[in-house]
Structure 1
Amino acid sequence: MRIQLIRHATLLLEWNNKRILVDPMLGAKDSLDTVPNAANTIRNPMTELPMDASALSDLLSSLDAILVTHRHRDHWDVTAQAILPRQLPVFCQPEDATALIEQGFTHVLPVDTSTTWENFRITRTGGQHGTGDIGKMMAPVSGFVLQDAHTTLYIAGDTIWCEEVVAAMDTFRPDYVVVNAGAAQFLQGDPITMTATDVIKTIQHPAQSKVIAVHMGVINHCFLSREALAAAVSAAGLSAIIPEQGEWIEA
């Protein structure tokens, strides 16, 4: 298995001769409006994709499936909706299936609990995209556990550290966990994605998973930087994989 961080939460999984694109946000820099009610008004995404148009076209033509944890625009933007091949299998949470079908995708596969595809078992997990009323407003969101005969990968999705994350790690004891950090926050309320403290709790979980932290430096209300997270993890005497855009992780 290899994992490439393309940008933000957009990942490319190369696994068992399959290529799976996760949470595609494929638009150019500044192509999305700012996230409202944040501490700045910078347009999104704040960085370009780490590939040119030709490389992006090659990527799209090589895909075997798409996984969408939820349809917030930083995980499923208008560009992705326009350019992704319509016939590809699209795994999603049940609440998003109708919208994806209406957008023209012909092989939408909602995962209620779990399903099998090729040599993989795909299981949906829960999460909390914030606390209180904001968390309720941002719902529903899901994580997904992908397993083959040898490796278990848990993509936690847009969630803070919460009982659903603990349950997923207790149940599946994944080899790798991808967490969406960035400590995204509005002017009111608590962070809606993982803070440095949340990431450290994930690293310290008894499953002893290797933690891959993404979802930083791209969207205007994500205020935890890669550098700050790396410093916090190091100060705690721990380690995590904090990739840069375009970087490959060899599992």
Structure 2
Amino acid sequence: MYMKTLAGTLALALSVTTGAALAQTKASAGRQPINEKVQLQQIRNATVKITYADTTFLIDPMLARKGAYPGFDGTYRSTLRNPLVELPMSEKEVIAGADAVIITHTHLDHWDDAAQQFLPKGIPLFVQNQADASLIRSQGFTNVRVLSDKAKFGGVTLSKTGGQHGTDEMFASAEVAKALGPAMGVVFEAPGHKTLYLVGDTIWRDDVDQALAQYDPQIIVINAGYAVMDGYEGSIIMGKEDVLRASQAAPDASIVATHMDAINHMFQTRKELREYVQEKNIQDRVEIPEDGAIVEF
């Protein structure tokens, strides 16, 4: 990312001494030097591929063709059919090279019939709980693992984080709470790599603050489409104000915003978010990749 203003350049210069001191403090605390690349490819919606410590994880695969499913009942623009756009590549290209799959929850826009059809039945899949594991095993998958706390895979430590997939008002309704259900986030760690925090489908909760404090991530991936339900204020996932909040809560982290422009109930677009981060002067720290685009850290 590049500094685009004189103020930004001066701020960078002034931060050199502070940054060096911070690096020395972390090194003295035993933190490994960071010298390995982390790669993220935006596929579509919340589907991304994360290559971390020579291991590629496919996240929340929704692989259906444009318009394959009805819109979600009781949500914004429910008359539209999902997904709203095509994949930027073939299903086989999406899956190619994936060593494992992480399914943060089993809503259709994170785990759909097409993903079940195209993925190999023996591929390792990480899920949030036994209920999701039982469902996915019933769909024919044979290597399903519950990420109850931490797990090791391919030299990567995966840690489960919490959240809430909607507001307190929404979860006060038993019917709505059941429909929304739980969803997890995941932290990726490996020696020599920036720590990556995949926040998942949640609003900003204490769980998010706790994850930021515990793991000190240098990369934060936010589902930022601000998905809206009829009859309720607020959203079931994060939006632009949460992107700003993340930039303030983790001032040294890079942020990747995803989960936009592909599902009927997404209220916030990439265009709106780009305008907002420019207005807040955080554009040098926020990546908003188009479908198919790759970013590296």
User: Per the shorter chain, which TM-score range?
Assistant: over 0.9
Q: CA deviation at 1:15?
A: 2.5
Deviations 1:165-224 (A, max 9, x none): 111111101110110011100112121111211111011114532110001100011010
1:148-163 superposed matches below 5 A: 148-150=190-192, 151-163=194-206
1:58-137 superposed matches below 5 A: 58-94=93-129, 95-135=131-171, 136-137=177-178
1:27 to 64, 81, 92: 64
Q: CA deviation at 1:59?
A: 4.1
Residues 173 and 207, structure 1, Cα contact 8 Å, conserved in 2: no
Deviations 1:85-104 (A, max 9, x none): 11111011014111111111
Partner residue, 1:233 = 277
Deviations 1:148-173 (A, max 9, x none): 11221111100111111111111101
Ranges of 4+ aligned residues in structure 1 off by more than 6 Å: none
Task: Kindly indicate whether residue 92 of structure 2 is the aligned counterpart of residue 48 of structure 1.
Answer: no
> Which runs of 5 or more structure 1 residues have no equivalent in the other structure?
none
Task: Kindly indicate whether residue 145 of structure 2 is the aligned counterpart of residue 145 of structure 1.
Answer: no
Residues 41 and 295, structure 2, Cα contact 8 Å, conserved in 1: yes
Say which SS state the counterpart of residue 229 (structure 1) adopts: helix
Q: Alignment length, in residue pairs?
A: 248
Partner residue, 1:243 = 289
Say which SS state the counterpart of residue 295 (structure 2) adopts: strand
2:243 to 195, 199, 209: 199
Question: Which structure's CA Rg is the greater one?
Answer: 2
C-alpha root-mean-square deviation of aligned residues, in Å? 1.3
**TM-score normalized by the length of structure 2:** 0.80
Q: CA deviation at 1:133?
A: 4.5
Task: Kindly indicate whether residue 187 of structure 2 is the aligned counterpart of residue 187 of structure 1.
Answer: no
Deviations 1:33-61 (A, max 9, x none): 10111232100000000013xxx324434
Q: CA deviation at 1:246?
A: 0.4
With over 3 angstroms needed to count, the CA separation of the structure-2 counterparts of 1:229 and 1:59, relative to structure 1, is closer
Q: CA deviation at 1:139?
A: 2.2
> Which runs of 5 or more structure 2 residues have no equivalent in the other structure?
1-37, 172-176
Say which SS state the counterpart of residue 80 (structure 1) adopts: helix
2:265 to 198, 205, 221: 221
Structure 2 letter corresponding to 1:70: H
With over 3 angstroms needed to count, the CA separation of the structure-2 counterparts of 1:226 and 1:61, relative to structure 1, is closer
> % of aligned pairs identical?
35
Structure 1 letter corresponding to 2:112: D
Structure 1 letter corresponding to 2:63: L
Residues 136 and 144, structure 2, Cα contact 8 Å, conserved in 1: yes
